[in-house]
A and B are shown apart, each in its own frame.
Chain A
Amino acid sequence: MLRFDKISLGFGDGPVLKNFSLEVLPGEVVVLLGRSGCGKTTLLRLAAGLLRPDAGRVANGFSRTAVVFQEPRLLPWSSARENVAFALAARGVPPAERDACAKALLARFGFAAADMEKRPLALSGGMQSRVAIARALVVEPDLVLMDEPFAALDIGLRRDLQDLVRETVESTRRAVLFVTHDVTEAVRLADRLVVLSPRPAKIVHEARTVPVVDPARIHMAAAALLDRPEVSGALMLSGRPPAATPVEEGYAEMPAVPDCVSGAAG
């Protein structure tokens, strides 16, 4: 399990975390939801060992931790296959084996053989994100840290990739700590939802949830979440969110988007 134990951390411009505690248990998807700049990414960096807290302790008891960054961070001079194999090379897996593993996983992620040999520049944004996720999952981690990995993608692609994450996580029971500022993304993915206040980050709402896949119900669930004053307050929407309401209703009345339905069914 991953445990943040009374963490405090500040940069030059004041505290980012103050006495913050949180646990991630094996096999659960914990989503940290909060505004940009609230300290979510800092928490992930702490978990990845890229930062040290000023006070408190981060204990990572998982045996393998993998990270999916905000940007794909692929090696531009290497093919998709080589990029995935890189994570295995870092673990000392022999070349033939790592190539086979990378190919198998990329194939499962919808890559044709020709696409596997393309360099990142020749791949679309969604494909690049898939490569980045494959690179994280190919080492069979028991904890995956994901830092708004889909923020730059359009909504359809984001849903596909969210489904991909859910599928792989459910079939392999990996723990995921997923950071986002997107309420619907949080509702779609979370086993446990943690809403953070702006800096210094405090947990204002925490709930066990069942991931919502039905597109209509996602927005109802998101609206229900935003109805809580502490949540909308933390996300800096005063009271009942004025902008969110009509959008939510609009979605509920809309005939189901065929893509999403097939995605949810499949």
Chain B
Amino acid sequence: MTPSRLARVARLLLGLAGLAALALAWEAGHRAFGPFVLPSPVEAADTLIRLFADGIALPALRVTVANALGGFLAGAVLGTALGVLAGLSWPVGAALRPVMTITLGVPPIAWVVLALLWFGPQGGAPAFTVLVTAMPIVFAGAAQGVCARDPKLSEMARVYGAPPMLRLRALLLPQLLDHLLPALATALAFAWKVSVMAEVLGGGTGIGGAIAEARAHLDLPETMAWILLVVLLLLVFDGILLSPIRRRLAERGEGASRPAAARPVGAG
């Protein structure tokens, strides 16, 4: 109907076409190299359904979600709080920035090893690793969001005597979200990967633990099924948690995309 709606439908269709191409390439790989190298997508999906039916997938899923989301939320809260602080006060920022750079620089795999040594394979190693990986990413986004505030708007708020809470709600938060949201999306994507990785290395529970077990049995279809599950998780949570906020942010620029609406009355 409207151009923007048409664009949305087109985007969805093209996205599906891309996914279909990926599935086709997977299937082609399966035909070229055989089921011992790459099981077919249909087989992987079948296996996933069987894993759910057998009551194996759900408990593993629950553990991984708890690890990934718990670590992500803790990291997001900590990262946002410290990032906002760093953005508002430059001494805090100057002190925290190198610490965060180092935290970001340590490879997640090294954190996994450390966490396993500290907490043991059954403890909070995956959640901790996720926290440590997510925090500096969110920190950078939050600090940048605060630093990138429009000083002219801040001055306007000052002149009008806006109290701190109003400035936070009406000025700081909207500007912060612009930078914070992409950082949160990135951190969430990392959360699943890191959590599964830590679980694989810990050889314990969760989807990662199941992948480790599938590998031990050289069970490729099951490995692919678990990978499918992780990807699905990422998509679902990205859609539930971040898409609504992203949509609200996009609405802000709406006026610019409709020049016809910007014309009217003017001279009055």
Contacts and interface: CB of A to CB of B under 8 A. Distances in A.
Chain B binding surface SS class: helix
B262 A73 contact: no
Interface residues of A, number: 38
Given A90-B166, A110-B268, A126-B267, A121 B262 contact: yes
Contacts of A87: 160
Nearest to A78: B170
A90 B268 contact: no
B258 A122 contact: yes
A157 B155 CA distance: 26
B159 interface: yes
B266 interface: yes
Nearest to A125: B266
Contact of A71 (B152, B163, B264): B152
Contacts of A66: 159-160
B170 A156 contact: no
A222 B263 CA distance: 33
A224 B266 CA distance: 33
Contacts of B263: 124
Interface stretch (B123-131, B230-238, B249-257): B249-257
Interface in A24-74: 48-50, 66-67, 69, 71, 73
B267 A90 contact: no
A67 B266 contact: no
B55 interface: no
Contacts of A90: 157, 160-163, 166
A231 B267 CA distance: 32
A99 to B, nearest CB: 14
B261 interface: yes
Nearest to B155: A50
B266 A124 contact: yes
A107 to B, nearest CB: 12
Interface string A85-127: 0110111100000000000000001101001001111111111
A48 B265 contact: no
Contact of B267 (A92, A118, A139, A156): A156
Interface string A134-169: 010001000000000000000011001000000000
B166 A89 contact: yes
Interface string B132-166: 00000000000000000000110111111111001
Task: Give the dominant DSSP class at A's interface.
Answer: loop
B171 interface: yes
A119 B254 contact: yes
B174 interface: yes
Nearest to B158: A50
Given A50-B158, A77-B174, A90-B161, A122 B254 contact: yes
Nearest to A72: B156
A118 B255 contact: yes
A76 to B, nearest CB: 6
Contacts of A264: none
B267 A75 contact: no
Contacts of B252: 76-77, 119, 121
Nearest to B252: A77
A81 B78 CA distance: 35
A157 B267 contact: yes
Interface string B166-210: 100011001000000000000000000000000000000000000
A120 B170 contact: no
A88 to B, nearest CB: 9
Contacts of B152: 69, 71, 73
15 contacts: A50-B159, A67-B159, A73-B152, A77-B174, A86-B162, A86-B170, A89-B162, A115-B264, A115-B265, A121-B252, A124-B263, A126-B267, A127-B265, A157-B267, A160-B268
Interface of B: 152-153, 155-163, 166, 170-171, 174, 252-256, 258, 261-268
Given A50-B159, A121-B255, 16 more contacts: A50-B158, A66-B160, A67-B160, A73-B156, A77-B174, A77-B252, A89-B170, A90-B157, A90-B162, A115-B265, A118-B255, A121-B254, A121-B256, A121-B262, A122-B255, A126-B266
Interface of A: 48-50, 66-67, 69, 71, 73, 75-78, 86-87, 89-92, 109-110, 112, 115, 118-127, 130, 135, 139, 156-157, 160
Q: Which 10 A-B pairs have the closest CB atoms?
A: A122-B255, A121-B255, A110-B268, A90-B162, A124-B266, A90-B160, A73-B156, A77-B174, A77-B252, A67-B159
